[in-house]
Structure 1
């Protein structure tokens, strides 16, 4: 059996009783970072007796065969540094391989930065999508936002503190002044969630907030197209080296709006 166990995202008191029992009793544990696991065990006053295996983004492919073989004969516990394994953390390849090999896969649920930030955002929670970490480069981030311009569900992203201001500015440039929230240091002593429009959050982020960030963005309104915004999105692509005609086609494909309207609006804005 392979058991995925969620670990605290900040506050050690969020460790479930099932996690504590698993850490105490399992004989084999795969961890994103074995040093982090040992710190967690020490913080919970647990003495590990398990044989430990590292499983991170750089060695997951090479270690899968060994761990699948182990899980076919034994119970194997999988933990990441924080939160649920496989959710923007290592483990997906192992889960897939175990499932294909007929190994039972279960989870010990627990803390998740995604749903925690969503719950306190003040934005709709009935339907949402998680988009993981935003790209590091501005142009790539803008393309992500452009692809999601007409996404109606609330959107959740991870972002590093030193890039949160740039990410907010890119979101504003592509999506307009939507409602949003940024949660930082979730479950920790200095936990804080800033809510408002993107322009509000841009001003807040100029203070250089610290801590891991979760950005939550309002979805698009039904069938509402801001022609000026669409034209600007096309010009953003032109600024990255794309021809205006092709940029208009791409924006039209992403949004469902008229290609000719986008092209005309881009020309007007350029003029």
Structure 2
């Protein structure tokens, strides 16, 4: 922890994931004002800076292969009072991208870390998927090894909410084949090249998506896979009929719900919702 010194500020700046217009005014102002820009690929960052007429900036490469060494170097600049913008090639830094080590070290040193929010493929995909978003899990890139991938997919299949993952184009086909083999009826969604010219969203079983991607020749690009929660199968029990009979037999709503649950082992909320209609005429 450094104290009594004029410390710099670390800005975590989100950049476009495709369309260069998807950057905030605040992000552009920060990029213009900072002393140093730490970037995953200096060539990619230069394209963005050139597009917006931002020049004369010191660019420091910061990626997964030099994170440990460069984070110490960048920390020394921050201690000297210099301001740094941390950016990745696209989207929000530290989200399946380098940056975690530098942010951690900066905070431990008492240096101010300021998020400059913006584009994120995870949030963009969720927002436009039509899948439930009240709760979700993000797993980053799926495992490369088949055994680990199968175990991860088994885990994902059991989640009661939407799961979001990234997958590389050269592994996408095999991943879909494995999903189709493990659960041929499960619906999933695929977002390709979000915000770019060839943006595409497809929804269906893994087998259906494989056929569609083959037909379009669309296995190139950046992909987000979304797994919505599995739909619960319709109950084989005539719950409403059972509740009607119990009501006619003099049971209270509470007693009827308890009795039906004992007979069917169905979730309380499901039985209770049906009981409200039968006992109180609640059609909402």
The TM-score range, normalised by the shorter chain, is 0.7 to 0.9
Runs (5+) with no aligned partner, structure 1: 225-271
TM-superposed deviation, 1:138: 2.5
Paired with 2:106 and 2:210, the residues of 1 have a C-alpha distance of: 44
Q: How does 1:248-259 map to 2 (within 5 A)?
A: none
1:128 equivalenced with 2:132 (yes/no) = no
Paired with 2:116 and 2:98, the residues of 1 have a C-alpha distance of: 16
TM-superposed deviation, 1:196: 1.8
1:206 equivalenced with 2:203 (yes/no) = no
1:215 equivalenced with 2:225 (yes/no) = yes
Q: How does 1:30-179 map to 2 (within 5 A)?
A: 30-47=38-55, 49-72=56-79, 73-179=81-187
1:121·1:180 contact (CA, 8 Å) conserved in 2?
A: no
Give the TM-score of the pair, scaled to structure 1.
0.77
C-alpha spacing 1:205/1:67, structure 2 compared with 1 (3 Å): same
SS in 2 for 1:61: helix
Paired with 2:222 and 2:188, the residues of 1 have a C-alpha distance of: 17
Paired with 1:79 and 1:218, the residues of 2 have a C-alpha distance of: 30
TM-superposed deviation, 1:176: 4.4
Paired with 1:11 and 1:18, the residues of 2 have a C-alpha distance of: 17
1:152·1:222 contact (CA, 8 Å) conserved in 2?
A: no
Give the TM-score of the pair, scaled to structure 2.
0.74
SS in 2 for 1:132: strand
> Which residue number corresponds to residue 11 of structure 2?
3
Larger Rg: 2
1:152·1:221 contact (CA, 8 Å) conserved in 2?
A: no
